[in-house]
Amino acid sequence: MNLSPSMLSALMPLLIPALGACLLPIAALDSDQATVKWIRASMFFIALLALAGGFLYLTRLWASGAQPEFGALHMDRLAQFGGIFVLVAAALAVLQLWDHLHQEGWVKGETLSLLLFSVVGMMLFSATGNLLLLFLGLELLSLPLYALTATVRTREKALEGGMKYFLTGAVASAVFLMGSVLLYGVTGSLDIAVIGQRLAQAGPVDPVALVGAAMLLAGFLFKMSVVPFHQWTPDVYEAAPHPISGFMSVATKGVAVLALLRVLAVGLPAVGGQLREAVAVLAVLSLVLGNLAALAQSSIKRMLAYSSISHAGYLLLGFVAATPAAYAGILFYLLAYLAMNMGAFGILSAFGLVGEEVTFEQLKGRGWQRPGLAIAVALCMFSLAGLPPMAGFYGKYMIFKELIMQGHIALAIVGVLASLVSVYYYLRVPVALFIEQPTAAAQREAAERPALLAPLAGASVLICGFLVLALGLIPGTVLDSFARRAAQAILVQVP
């Protein structure tokens, strides 16, 4: 087969970060050398360069309007959206890792390489409707994340968290694979478009196909950490280095949402319709459980983990509404979530808080020491809580509006009440930063061990705060020029 330029341009966005991932281990062959300053700098430089290269390539592709294909790999606008989303999240995570790994005293060459491989897997996962390629993407994104969770091996909970994630993730992958097999058995195809056509021709949905689709759904929901597939989330987020937790919560959830959109909501509309009630129930469960459990946490990372479960619930509500506008709203929500959650996790690195357990106590009174950072993270928190004029408000607004217009008023009321509850625990961060006084022990500790400066992590938090505000002030522009066009890329395929 000859490689045409169009095929190559479909592949390039994946190849650039993959190239970076392959180069990185060479840059730090002897992992002890990674602590040497210039080697460390060149590692992070390569990683950022690879991410920036992919980003620039994708933005040019987006601007040109081209939607190249390479076999089952569809680099359409939705995939380009997914790629840009993942690359930005990864770049923010790399900025935070620079400081965080240094603070942890665990600068190793493999960390960034694994992160980049995971990025490639995510881009593949959001760019294909072929079940086999999807599985490949799923594994390629998951395996590095399992390892990354356990990467700081000096931590007590790291191996436990990594193992938990690996075992549950392996089961989820197996379930996903089994679902693909069932769909293949019923329709004789692995391509979701063909599967959709054959199922539609066959009339009423085959129960075996329904079970298969439900198993695919379970695989996606596991990656989105929707109740009852959420159990791993708090432990894994706690075990992983803070920037990796942030990256997982944003990028993994994001690409799972994109794949769910491409494969089930649009690819198999009839089956998706039958599963809608189940999706609504799971969304409500995620909202209730995520928000209530988040109330009770003393560890910030566990609070953010439960909050990420509740945000999965909001995103799922968009799938219940199931209109083109709701899908565009979901994509906008993802952008908002990218900024606000990377900011929320980033503040931990920016304040130089190490170890797996970071409590609200440790934030007390710090807002007045670093007002810029604290304001940025407060904006992220208000946005997570859905307060206008931050980006998070518009994400919820668009999803709730479509829900209400489709007549699901009860679900919308559950949604707003859940976000009312969430205000309480999100406010605990600004309360700790600005209102509470540091405890005597914390003051003594701060005097003994002054926090290391974290310029890059701080910059990433400021970027996130800026994005949260900017997306909130010009929601229409972003929605029209970006989110809606990405959603249209796959919606035009269905009659």
Partner 1 sequence: MITAWINSHLLSFIVFAPLVWGLALLVLPERQAPLAKLLGLLGATGVLAVAAVQLLHFNSDPLGQLCAERFPWFTAVGIPVDYHLAVDGLNLWLVLLTTFLVPLTLLGTWNSIGKRAGTAVALFLMLETGMLGALVAQDLLVFYLFWEAMLLPMYFLIGVWGGDERKYAATKFVLFTLAGSLLWLVALLFLAGKAGSFAPEVMAQAVLALPAGTQATLFLAFALAFAIKVPLFPLHTWLPDAHTQAPTGGSVLLAGVLLKLGSYGFLRFAYPMFPQAAARYALLLAVLATVAIVYGALVAMVQTDIKKLVAYSSVSHMGFIMLGIASMTLIGTQGAMLQMLNHGISTGALFLLVGMLYDRAHTRRIADFGGVALKMPVFTAFFLVVTLSSIGLPLTNGFTGEFLILNGTYNSAYAWGRPLACVATLGVLLSAVYMLWMVQRVFWGPANPREDSGTAHLHADLNAREIAVLVPIVVLIFWMGVHPQTFLGHSEGQVGQLLARSAQTTAQANKVTP
360 counts as binding partner 1 under rule CB under 8 A: no
Q: Which stretch binds partner 1 (CB under 8 A): 70-78, 121-129, 179-187, 416-424?
A: 416-424
Q: Which stretch binds partner 1 (CB under 8 A): 9-17, 142-150, 203-211, 426-434?
A: 426-434
| Rounded least distance, CB 447 to partner 1, Å | 20
39 counts as binding partner 1 under rule CB under 8 A: no
121 counts as binding partner 1 under rule CB under 8 A: no
- Residue in 191, 270, 319, 262 with CA at minimum distance from that of residue 492: 262
Binding partner 1 (rule: CB under 8 A), the pick from 427, 442, 470, 491 is 427
Bridge partners (DSSP) of residue 244 are: none
| Rounded least distance, CB 267 to partner 1, Å | 22
480 counts as binding partner 1 under rule CB under 8 A: yes
The pattern of x and - marking residues 382 through 411 that bind partner 1 according to CB under 8 A reads x----xxx---xx--xx-xxx-xx---x--
Q: Where does residue 123 rank: exposed (0-12), middle (13-18), buried (19+ CB within 10 A)?
A: buried
The pattern of x and - marking residues 322 through 341 that bind partner 1 according to CB under 8 A reads ---x--xx------------
Q: Which residue's CB is nearer to partner 1, number 140 or number 334?
A: 334
- Residue in 220, 210, 355, 234 with CA at minimum distance from that of residue 293: 234
| Rounded least distance, CB 428 to partner 1, Å | 9
476 counts as binding partner 1 under rule CB under 8 A: yes
Binding partner 1 (rule: CB under 8 A), the pick from 118, 349, 419, 460 is 419
Binding partner 1 (rule: CB under 8 A), the pick from 31, 197, 369, 477 is 477
Q: Which residue's CB is nearer to partner 1, number 201 or number 437?
A: 437
Binding partner 1 (rule: CB under 8 A), the pick from 292, 423, 446, 470 is 423
Binding partner 1 (rule: CB under 8 A), the pick from 8, 417, 452, 453 is 417
Q: Which stretch binds partner 1 (CB under 8 A): 23-31, 102-110, 457-465, 473-481?
A: 473-481
- Summarize as ranges the residues that interact with partner 1 (CB under 8 A): 325, 328-329, 368, 382, 387-389, 393-394, 397-398, 400-402, 404-405, 409, 412-413, 416-417, 419-420, 423-424, 427, 430-431, 434-436, 474-477, 479-480, 484
